[in-house]
Structure 1
């Protein structure tokens, strides 16, 4: 599937307006990633609030600089999934317990309610959900530092 030809702009209310090749105008479109963890820059659908797809982005690099910037801004505003780079420590190896971690968004502590809140995504990725429903990503559990891996091993 190839990228649909379109242009994007924002209206005065901050909503995205998409104009396709045929000149049709769609207001309030939002980008939705098809594969948010494994391939975040590939396969993005532009959908209306009713869920109807009006454009497809095969790769973000297919877009003009302006459109790419608007899509990325919108995705960053809608998605919040900090990526854990280091596990500093846990309060206990029994759940519930408090995890102290370093992420791409800074240092934080969160409560892990149960072992079921750590889910494998693919062969190497983990998704950890805290007691407030915030999801933290470990992109590759085999590439994380030795100390963090040792802690993870106790929960997997």
Structure 2
């Protein structure tokens, strides 16, 4: 007797993108309309922000999950834009465009970087706050701020050499 493989997708409360509308109310709170039912304010979170940044968006109301949006690109344009802005705010990440120096003092890495918002100096608690995924790197500083190097190959040679010494 062979067992059928378990399909986890059937257990998820997937929302039909054809009936979902997301919008901001007058107080800039995110609201959800599914058909004629309205809920809000709702909280949107990426279930897998690193591996699937445009998929598996959980919507919840008062801490209780309402449902899951499988793929943002299947939403209507306005809902997609509102949701994208909401997630960008929640998962705010500053992009590192160049690295001036990385010094380790008393086992604490000190970074001096150029970002899309200007020069920034920060400390990391430990090297565990640096995650490498293929050629993308995520860094969390001692204050919990998040930084991203979208592609190591896009950095200048000096910056690449500095980061490669850390990974």
Could you say what secondary structure the match of 1:131 adopts? coil
Q: Contact (CA 8 Å) 1:45, 1:55: kept in 2 or not? A: yes
Partner residue, 2:108: 96
Rounded to whole Å, the distance in 2 between the matches of 1:56 and 1:3 is 8
- Normalising by the residue count of structure 2, what TM-score does the alignment of the two structures yield? 0.75
Correspondences of 1:22-101 after superposition (within 5 Å): 23-60=36-73, 62-90=74-102, 92-94=103-105, 95-101=107-113
- Normalising by the residue count of structure 1, what TM-score does the alignment of the two structures yield? 0.80
Question: Segments of 4+ in structure 1 off by > 4 A?
Answer: none
- State which structure, 1 or 2, has the greater radius of gyration over its C-alpha atoms: 2
Partner residue, 1:131: 142
Rounded to whole Å, the distance in 2 between the matches of 1:24 and 1:43 is 21
Matched residue count: 152
Residues 47 and 105 of structure 1: CA distance in aligned 2, closer, same or farther (over 3 Å): farther
Cα offset for 1:57? Answer: 4.3
Rounded to whole Å, the distance in 2 between the matches of 1:50 and 1:2 is 18
Cα offset for 1:20? Answer: 0.4
Cα offset for 1:55? Answer: 4.3
Correspondences of 1:114-129 after superposition (within 5 Å): 114-120=126-132, 122-129=133-140
Partner residue, 2:9: none
Q: Contact (CA 8 Å) 2:99, 2:112: kept in 1 or not? A: yes
CA RMSD in angstroms, aligned pairs only: 2.4
Residues 118 and 9 of structure 1: CA distance in aligned 2, closer, same or farther (over 3 Å): closer
Q: Contact (CA 8 Å) 1:85, 1:104: kept in 2 or not? A: yes
